[in-house]
Amino acid sequence: MTSRTAWPAELPDPLEERFAAAVAGKSGLVVVPVAQRPFPIWLRAGTDDAEAASASFHPQLNGLKFFHEPRRILEIGAGAGYRSVALAHAYPGAEVLATEPNAAFQRVAMLNTVPYGNITVLNVAIGTDNARYDFFGREGDAGYPALMRHEAGQITATPLPHLLNHRRWGDVDTIVLTLDAASAGILDEPLPRRVRMLAVETGGTPLPPDTMAKLPMAEFLAMVSGDYVLFYRRALKKAPPEPPRSIPVFAPDGPTRNLTLENVSGDPPGFFLVGRNGFRLHPNQYGTPSARVTITQHNLDYAELQVSMRVVQDDSAPVRFKVEMRGESGTILASAIEVVKGGAARGVVMQLPEYQGPCSIVFTTQMAEPGASHEGAWAEFISATFV
């Protein structure tokens, strides 16, 4: 097996001495130019950032070795971003998604990674459930705050599948994991099927036998390499691309959801089912309260809301359609407005923020012009789908 690593074998200046000299006798943020790097590195004087940065910039000596060409690298526990920068520099064609729950680390990570267009840093904890965490006490010789599970914690862990689904990262091929209280459970769960390599930073010690027993060793080759335990998938079966996961908002034959009608006429019926996942919402006249349908659901974790609408009758006056997604407190998370003339159809794609919890989707219709008749305005939401 031949390594395809793009790491430089050595750098021309002694980074360890250079970083140590830059922070010696100082406190606060220090910026250090680095040879063969387009952007400088930020260090926090008075911490062990200098050692961490120099170790990250010598990854082969540190044990992080690749035998494939990574395209999507998920780094869980990015710290101050030094390893993220090294990965982005070594593999400029790869995307690096780095997560770090410690806000103090994350702020420095943003300084170090913002010049790199292929790095995204998220201030989140990645785990296996939605448990709450926070930093209590200290751990290790450096005395770092320790992430601990606590019902009063201010950090809600994001399950790994939810993160990958929201980022459309079903084809993540590389995971680099620095364990903490939230992410430790990831080793107990099945790995994403397209992962070719998992690198667990352990400081050079093997993983506990009970943890190793839970990993699918029939699929992976394991080895201790420097500060990491590396798992290489023995063979990766080619699978068809995963289609985007879509869920209809209005599904009469689906899970039970709360449905509220406001300002909807009863005679003739102003709301009724059209097709399998659509409905007609008869518009009220211009200047009167809009006809409104509100559907509530829980645990939203999607990237888009796709809505199709139409006005059936060719001779109808234009109808104003509006769709809003609201959070639990009523905050508008996304919205779209379309004016559709008679006989026409329109579609909108609403980009959704990262959000988990109760939400409501509000659909409204109203005539778009003063004095226009709404008698023959057959306004329909053909479909509304989360993707």
How much is the average pLDDT of 29-36?
A: 84
For the cut 80, the answer to whether the pLDDT of residue 314 exceeds it is yes
Between 219 and 196, the higher pLDDT residue: 196
- Give me the percent of the chain exceeding a pLDDT of 90: 35
For the cut 60, the answer to whether the pLDDT of residue 10 exceeds it is no
Give the best-scoring range by mean pLDDT among 43-47, 61-65, 261-265. 261-265
pLDDT in tens, 181-208: 888 888 888 888 889 999 999 888 888 8
Residue 226 and residue 191: Cα distance in Å, rounded?
A: 23
Q: Residue 245 — pLDDT band, cuts 50, 70, 90?
A: low
Q: Residue 139 — pLDDT band, cuts 50, 70, 90?
A: low
| Cβ contact 7:59 at 8 Å | yes
Q: The tokens of 350 are what? A: 């609403």
Closest CA to 298 of 218, 386, 360: 360
> Which segment of 255-259, 313-317, 340-344 scores lowest on mean pLDDT?
255-259
Residue 19 and residue 114: Cα distance in Å, rounded?
A: 20
Supply the pLDDT for residue 1: 36
**DSSP reduced 3-state for 13:** coil
Residue found under tokens 């395809």: 4
Supply the DSSP string of 292-304, one letter for each residue. Answer: EEEEEES----SE
Closest CA to 118 of 95, 148, 145, 152: 95
How would you class 383 by CB atoms within 10 Å of its CB: exposed for 0-12, middle for 13-18, buried for 19 or more? buried
Supply the pLDDT for residue 300: 64
Q: Residue 4 — pLDDT band, cuts 50, 70, 90?
A: very low
For the cut 70, the answer to whether the pLDDT of residue 112 exceeds it is yes
How much is the average pLDDT of 66-88?
A: 91
For the cut 70, the answer to whether the pLDDT of residue 236 exceeds it is no
How would you class 88 by CB atoms within 10 Å of its CB: exposed for 0-12, middle for 13-18, buried for 19 or more? buried
Which residue segments constitute the domains of the chain, with CATH numbers given?
A: 9-57 (no CATH), 60-233 (3.40.50), 247-386 (2.60.120.260)
Q: Residue 58 — pLDDT band, cuts 50, 70, 90?
A: low
Supply the pLDDT for residue 38: 79
What strands lie across the sheet with 72-76, from one edge to the other? 119-122, 95-99, 72-76, 174-178, 197-201, 228-233, 220-225
> Which segment of 84-98, 212-226, 243-257, 305-319 scores lowest on mean pLDDT?
243-257
Supply the pLDDT for residue 244: 56
**Dihedral in degrees, nearest 10, Cα atoms 182, 188, 193, 197:** 80
> Which segment of 35-44, 51-60, 94-103 scores lowest on mean pLDDT?
51-60
Between 12 and 276, the higher pLDDT residue: 276
- Give me the percent of the chain exceeding a pLDDT of 70: 88
Q: Residue 67 — pLDDT band, cuts 50, 70, 90?
A: confident
Q: Where are the alpha helices (DSSP H) in the chain?
A: 15-23, 49-56, 59-62, 82-90, 103-113, 160-166, 209-214
pLDDT in tens, 341-362: 999 999 999 988 877 778 899 9
Supply the DSSP string of 288-335, one letter for each residue. Answer: SPPEEEEEEES----SEEEEEEEE--TTPPPEEEEEEEE-TTS-EEEE
How much is the average pLDDT of 135-157?
A: 76
